Amino acid sequence: MSGDEPRRRRGRRPGHSGSRDAILAAARAAFARDAYAGASLRAIARDADVDPALISHYFGSKAGLFIAATDWPFDPDEGHRATLAGGRDDVGRRLAEFFFGTWSVPEKRISVLGLLQTAFTDPTVAAMLREFFVDEVFEPLLTRLGADQVALRSGLLASQLHGVILSRYVLDLLSQEAFDDATVIDAIAPTLQRYAVGPLTG
Amino acid sequence: MSGDEPRRRRGRRPGHSGSRDAILAAARAAFARDAYAGASLRAIARDADVDPALISHYFGSKAGLFIAATDWPFDPDEGHRATLAGGRDDVGRRLAEFFFGTWSVPEKRISVLGLLQTAFTDPTVAAMLREFFVDEVFEPLLTRLGADQVALRSGLLASQLHGVILSRYVLDLLSQEAFDDATVIDAIAPTLQRYAVGPLTG
């Protein structure tokens, strides 16, 4: 494993699994303290006593570090590719399909459900989720689509998808027993399509 | 106050404010134990040591008792009247307007936000909310509209409105600072209209 890791620097931990764990622990503390946008990779490296290059080496990016630190269930880049693969007219359906592809797997729901519950009473966790959804999930997608009113469209997309989380996986309204994923995808795809690139007034 | 209350029965509490409080305490225990549909007014009256007629006298109905016991922020009957007042073609907008009329008042949000947070980890609270939303809020509305697929449409309406709760009032996506209620109402009204009475496939 050590062969593809950065050289050891004076006074810092060498690149072994202990340093990966130290980075994750420091990242969790930083995200809990400074939310997502405010967390600094440099400070995380310092707290973990590693070279900042080791974070890139292990996790690629701040988003990659967040995904590993929170056990996040999907990679936004993968979501963007899947959502855009059918072209502009198929964005709503592809986004719904990608969403259900992730959320239909029970063990993938645990981390986000726990964070969402905590967000009701912890403003820093709410900010962390908001910043990750905006900065890494919805705004990059909408920017690639050349959409206007990106902040409003981000919030609207989030509202429909978060509503499915709450209704289907928490309250058991729109229940999995009664309605299969395809039925819900059919119903919400036109909503997501309009929120992404359609008219925002009735 | 005692002038308009039922006659005292043998061995039961007389109809004064102490019996109203006793009914509310017994109702909260019953809803927490049996959710909404399973809670029995007869059992609540027995636990509160009052005549069942006193529950009707004070609260009118099971929904009225639930509203008082949970500090619920709106009366579903009032919501149905407001939503249906503009006729079938204006249901989405009227529903959105009624929703924001309630949710824009911060102190009215507290009870439902607390219950929703608890529902993530307490299946009985989740069931209680689901049953109240289905039995008292969405299905009566859809039935009056003569809608088909009432269970699916209930879940879809709930998903969009719960998503606004989570995104706007918990995560501060679709934030109140950036977007006034009218902007969000314009954007979600066509979604609610379609979920209530429109086609459910794209």
On the question of pLDDT at A6 being above 60, the answer is no
Looking at the complex, report in whole angstroms how far the Cα of residue B21 sits from the nearest Cα belonging to chain A.
29
Contacts of A83 (CB under 8 A, 6+ apart): A91, A94, A95, A98, A141
On whether the CB atoms of residues B103 and B169 are closer than 8 A, the answer is yes
**Can you give the pTM of this predicted structure?**
0.91
On the question of pLDDT at A5 being above 80, the answer is no
On the question of pLDDT at A83 being above 60, the answer is yes
Class of domain B76-197: mainly alpha
At position A137, the amino acid (one-letter code) is V
On the question of pLDDT at A137 being above 50, the answer is yes
What single DSSP character describes residue B178? T
Q: Does A82 touch chain B (CB under 8 A)?
A: no
Contacts of B4 (CB under 8 A, 6+ apart): none
Count Cβ atoms below 10 Å from residue B177 Cβ, excluding itself: 6
Q: A8 falls in which pLDDT band (50, 70, 90)?
A: very low
**Closest residue in A to B127 (Cα–Cα):** A171
Which region holds residue B35: left if phi is over 0, alpha if psi is between -120 and 50, else beta? Answer: left
The b-or-e profile of A104-122 (16+ CB within 10 A means b, else e) is eeeebbeebbebbbbbbee
Mean pLDDT taken over chain A: 92
Contacts of A150 (CB under 8 A, 6+ apart): A139, A142, A143
At position A143, the amino acid (one-letter code) is T
At position B112, the amino acid (one-letter code) is V
What single DSSP character describes residue A4? G
ipTM comes to: 0.90
> Hey, which residues 132-171 in chain B have their CB within 8 Å of chain A?
133-134, 151-152, 154-156, 158-168, 170-171
Contacts of A78 (CB under 8 A, 6+ apart): none
> What CATH number labels B2-70?
1.10.10.60
Q: B201 falls in which pLDDT band (50, 70, 90)?
A: confident
Q: Does B105 touch chain A (CB under 8 A)?
A: no
At position A124, the amino acid (one-letter code) is T
User: What's the confidence (pLDDT) of residue B202?
Assistant: 63
Mean pLDDT taken over chain B: 92
> Hey, which residues 17-36 in chain A have their CB within 8 Å of chain B?
none
Residue given tokens 């959502």 in the structure block: A83
Looking at the complex, report in whole angstroms how far the Cα of residue A175 sits from the nearest Cα belonging to chain B.
8
Question: Do the chains contact at B162 and A166, CB–CB below 8 Å?
Answer: yes
On whether the CB atoms of residues B142 and B134 are closer than 8 A, the answer is no
Judged by DSSP in three states, A200 sits in coil
In this prediction, residues A126-139 reach a mean pLDDT of 97
Residues of B with Cβ-Cβ distance to A173 under 8 angstroms: 130, 133-134, 154-155, 158-159
DSSP string spanning chain A?
-GGGSPPPPTTS--SSHHHHHHHHHHHHHHHHHHTTTT--HHHHHHHHTS-HHHHHHHHSSHHHHHHHHHT-S--HHHHHHHHHTT-GGGHHHHHHHHHHHHHTSHHHHHHHHHHHHHHTT-HHHHHHHHHHIIIIIIHHHHHHTT-SSHHHHHHHHHHHHHHHIIIIIIS-SS-TTTS-HHHHHHHHHHHHHHHHHS-S--
Q: Where are the domains of chain A?
A: 2-70, 76-197
Residues of A with Cβ-Cβ distance to B162 under 8 angstroms: 162-163, 166-167, 171
Question: Residue B160 is nearest to which of A93, A126, A159, comparing CB atoms?
Answer: A159
d(CA A161, CA A164): 5
On the question of pLDDT at B3 being above 50, the answer is no
At position B197, the amino acid (one-letter code) is V
**Closest residue in A to B179 (Cα–Cα):** A152
Residues of A with Cβ-Cβ distance to B161 under 8 angstroms: 163
Question: Do the chains contact at B159 and A189, CB–CB below 8 Å?
Answer: no
Q: What is the pLDDT of residues B79-138, one digit of tens each?
A: 999 999 999 999 999 999 999 999 989 999 999 999 999 999 999 999 999 999 999 999
Q: What is the pLDDT of residues B15-33, one digit of tens each?
A: 567 899 999 999 999 999 9
